[in-house]
Copies of this chain bind each other. A is one copy, B any other.
Amino acid sequence: MPDSTLTVQLERSRSAPPLIDQLASQIRGAIEDGELPASARLPSTRALARQLGVSRTVTSEAYATLLAEGYLESRRGSGTFVVERAVAAPALDPRAESTSRWLQHPAAPADVDPPSDPRVPFRICEPDADSFPDSAWRTAARAAINEAVEEGYPPPEGDADLRQKIATFLLQERGLTVAPDELMVTSGTAQSLDLIARATLRPGDLVGFEDPGYRLARQIFTDRGGVIVPVPVDACGAVPEALMDRGGDAAPMVVYLTPSHQFPLGSALSFRRRQALLDWAGRRDVLVIEDDYDSEFRFDGPVLPPLRTSSSRESVVYLGTFSKSLSPRLRLGYVIAPAPLRETLLRLKVRSDQGTHWLSQRILARYLGGGGFTRHLRRMRRLYRRRRDVLVQSLGPLPAGASWSGLAAGLHATLLLPPELPADELAAAAEREGVVVASVADYQLSRPAQNGLVIGYGASPEDQIKAAGRVLRDVIETRSFR
């Protein structure tokens, strides 16, 4: 295992510098910035090549350059390392000179989305805060704060009443039959994923991961030593052949999927692929992680059944969250896990935070019991559908070769673009006009990345969407006619 996770972003356009130079320059920068500390071990050229989706020539040549320049040293039989004192005296980073031993751990580098700017109209994966059901929530909260504070630590599996209410909700809204004792409350999906990664992965274990996919999830898996196996995604969701065609010993330990509304492309996993994936996972003893982050908001067509059903219960762990349906400030989610995995997760939960904060659980249990949640979801579906329609209308007829993906559900959609309209350039042009929009490439490991823009519409009022949509349309038209 390398000591450090390298964060490298390679630009693949034909006008970009050679990949070898890009890679060498970024590693050099990481060493100078202290992101790769002295003595950190680098991944092998083979592992790095796989991780970046480049040939091994690229990684070998980049390492050779840095070895020659004295940034790296090769130690026989143990790998390639950042040399001691690679950093010149007057460093940019004030820590560089005085960095304590206990600050040299590799887990630090960040690869997560930066905090979202609340002024940005197209931010992704956030619900509309103004639509929070204040009145019903406050009624529930007033009742909950009048309950006596119970003794001791909160139970690691979560409040019994809340688990009961979630089970009822899942049956009604998702057709999922689950006993409250199969459920476990967590402090949100990041924690759910962290616990699962910690329970299942040893360093070097393979993780099948949708590519493009949810970056924070990827980071959590690699933090725990997981090695990402990218699974391509198309209009029918993740492509299972990418996993099934791998050789004998190469089955991943876990596979992370967003089958109802793939993040970020928005496609739903087709029935045939569901069956193929579950069948393969059962045969190869792979744990399927189903992140059902926003399935509450399906506008067109029937809600798809979850992968986790009674027949797949032994190989699927299901994650739900209230971050999209209520608010990410709540920090409440849940996990339905195969029984033996659940036991391990509960044990690790104690070592993570002893149990989920109690008051919000009590409020949520009362709120769900009050029956207003179904109405709230219906209202939000209408609101988000309108916002989606405004987005589509404001962009108008799409240029030839462009198409929408993931319009049927969720809080964001993806605009797939033809090669002559490069998403990164459009995004940069839009940002100059004050509209921040993400590129699919930001979420993708392998190259060439899919060419598209990821457009969140859930958190923005209609007039903002309309205005920003027009800016985007102008940017696209300007480029189309160039």
8 A-B pairs with least C-beta separation: A329-B358, A129-B151, A331-B357, A102-B200, A141-B145, A187-B353, A102-B287, A191-B353
Chain B residues whose CB sits within 8 angstroms of the CB of A360 once the complex forms: 357, 359-360
A194 vs B354: C-alpha distance when bound (angstroms): 11
- A129-B152, A190-B351, A330-B359 given; A343·B67 CB < 8 A: yes
Residue picked from A115, A353, A358, most chain B C-beta under 10 Å: A353
- Residue of B154, B181, B314 near A329 (CB, 8 A) is B154
Does any Cβ of B come within 8 Å of A377's Cβ? no
Tell me, rounded to whole Å, the shortest Cβ–Cβ distance linking A251 to chain B.
8
Query: A68: which of B116, B137, B216, B344 is its contact (CB, 8 Å)?
Result: B344
Q: Does A459 contact B (CB under 8 A)?
A: yes
Copies of this chain present in the complex amount to: 2
Question: What would 10 more interface pairs be, CB under 8 Å, given A105-B201, A332-B357?
Answer: A100-B285, A105-B199, A105-B202, A105-B344, A138-B146, A149-B329, A153-B329, A190-B351, A190-B353, A216-B351
A95 at the interface (CB under 8 A from B): yes
- Contact B134 A149, beta carbon cutoff 8 Å: yes
Q: Is there a chain B Cβ closer than 8 Å to A90's Cβ? A: no
* A22 contacts partner chain B, Cβ-Cβ < 8 Å: no
Does A247 have its Cβ within 8 Å of any Cβ on chain B? no
Q: A149-B129, A152-B116, A340-B95 are in contact. Are A359 and B363 (CB under 8 A)?
A: yes
Stretch of A106-114, A297-305, A379-387, A389-397 contacting B (4+ beta carbons < 8 Å): A106-114
Judge whether A290 is part of the interface by a CB distance below 8 angstroms: no
Say whether A341 faces chain B, with CB atoms less than 8 Å apart. Answer: yes
Q: Considering the chains assembled together, what is the distance between the CA atoms of A134 and B359 in angstroms?
A: 13
Q: How many angstroms from the CA of A98 to the CA of B354 in the assembled complex?
A: 30
When the two chains form their complex, are residues B150 and A344 in contact, meaning their CB atoms are under 8 A apart?
no
In the complex with contacts A74-B343, A138-B145, A285-B102, A331-B351 CB distance below 8 A: no
Alpha-carbon distance A323/B110, docked complex (angstroms): 31
Q: How far apart are A95's CB and chain B's nearest CB, in angstroms?
A: 5
Given contacts A134-B149, A138-B145, contact A223 B107 (CB under 8 A): no
**A148–B73 CA distance with the chains assembled, in angstroms:** 36
Q: Is A355 an interface residue (CB 8 A)?
A: yes
Taking CB atoms and an 8 Å cut-off, the chain A residues in 121-150 that contact chain B are 126, 129, 132, 134, 137-138, 141-142, 145-146, 148-150
Please name all residues of chain B whose beta carbon is closer than 8 Å to the beta carbon of A151 when the two chains form the complex.
118, 126, 129, 459
A352 at the interface (CB under 8 A from B): yes
Whole-angstrom distance between the Cβ of A412 and the nearest chain B Cβ: 15
Closest Cβ–Cβ distance, residue A307 to chain B (whole Å): 16
B153–A100 contact, CB under 8 A?
A: no
Question: With A and B bound together, what is the CA distance between A150 and B118 in angstroms?
Answer: 10
Q: In this assembly, does A9 line the interface, its C-beta being within 8 Å of a C-beta of chain B? A: no
Contacts of A155 in B (CB 8 A): 115
Which residues of chain B are near A355, meaning CB under 8 Å?
331
Nearest-CB residue, chain B, relative to A107 = B198
Contacts of A51 in B (CB 8 A): none
| Chain B, residue nearest A345 (CB) | B108
Q: Which residues from chain B contact A73 at a C-beta distance below 8 Å?
A: 340
User: How far, in whole Å, are A360 and B141 apart by their CA atoms in the complex?
Assistant: 12
Residue of A116, A142, A153 with most chain B CB atoms under a 10 A cut-off: A153
Task: Check A190/B108 contact, CB under 8 A, given A101-B285, A152-B118, A253-B102.
Answer: no
